[in-house]
């Protein structure tokens, strides 16, 4: 299994790094090889892995990437597993190379009206890079637990982004807070861990995507 994924979005603060971190852990728990190229200047996943080093959990394979040469060498290295590239929320040549290298670009989308504007900007970048739209999959993220009319949320962007994953990540502080302890939400032992089930569903859906 050799696939490369990006949790992509044209601005920061939507939780790309947190999602990347949690998905990598969820997939690693299935005994699938996972690695992460952290090219975001904040290096969230890279430093979270250092926090993980003081737990009893297996470390993730995360490499800090700073330039195009580093990324090319990382991607060309022999690796039979799933690769995540954690990109920043800005437009750079390094991010563009990452987007072109991905088998699938996964876009987290909430019902926040400002995100529609961001997606229009992102669409222009995708068009400039001549990336096939079938590689871009949208999934609903940070959706309120009481929100039921999912199709209405999808309709707002479905003309520009027609491919949706079935998984939905509801708004849940456990997903955000677990990374501060070097853990994934799937590793929390609390009862009724809905966030764990949602991340596991998304991880399984990603695993089964065609490369």
Match 């330039």 to its residue by tokens: 67
Look at the chain and report how many structural domains it folds into. Answer: 1
Residue 9 — pLDDT band, cuts 50, 70, 90? confident
Domain with residue 92: its CATH number is: 3.40.50.300
| Phi then psi dihedrals of residue 201, to 5 deg | -60, -45
Reported as a single tens digit per residue, the pLDDT across 19-61 is 999 999 999 999 999 999 999 999 999 999 999 999 999 999 9
pTM of the model: 0.95
Domain that holds residue 201: 3-207
SS3 7: strand
Q: Report the C-alpha gap between 156 and 158 in whole angstroms.
A: 6
Match 């966030």 to its residue by tokens: 195
Reported as a single tens digit per residue, the pLDDT across 89-132 is 888 999 999 999 999 999 999 877 777 888 888 899 999 999 99
Q: Report the C-alpha gap between 112 and 110 in whole angstroms.
A: 5
């Amino acid at each position: 299994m050799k696939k490369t994924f990006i949790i992509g979005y044209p601005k920061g603060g939507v939780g790309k790094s947190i999602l990347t971190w949690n998905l990598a852990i969820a997939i690693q728990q299935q005994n699938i090889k996972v690695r992460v190229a952290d090219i975001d200047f904040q290096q969230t996943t890279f430093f979270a892995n250092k926090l993980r080093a003081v737990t009893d959990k297996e470390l993730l394979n995360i490499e800090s990437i700073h330039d195009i040469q580093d990324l090319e060498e990382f991607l060309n290295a022999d690796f039979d597993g799933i690769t995540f590239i954690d990109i920043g929320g800005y437009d750079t040549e390094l991010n563009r190379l990452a987007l072109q290298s991905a088998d699938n670009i996964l876009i987290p989308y909430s019902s926040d009206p400002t995100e529609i504007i961001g997606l229009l900007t992102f669409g222009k970048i995708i068009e400039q890079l001549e990336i096939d739209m079938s590689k871009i999959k949208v999934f609903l993220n940070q959706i309120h637990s009481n929100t039921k009319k999912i199709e209405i949320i999808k309709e707002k962007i479905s003309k520009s982004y027609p491919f949706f994953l079935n998984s939905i990540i509801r708004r849940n502080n456990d997903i955000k807070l677990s990374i501060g302890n070097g853990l994934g939400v799937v590793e929390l032992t609390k009862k009724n861990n809905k966030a764990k089930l949602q991340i596991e569903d998304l991880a399984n859906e990603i695993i089964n995507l065609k490369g």
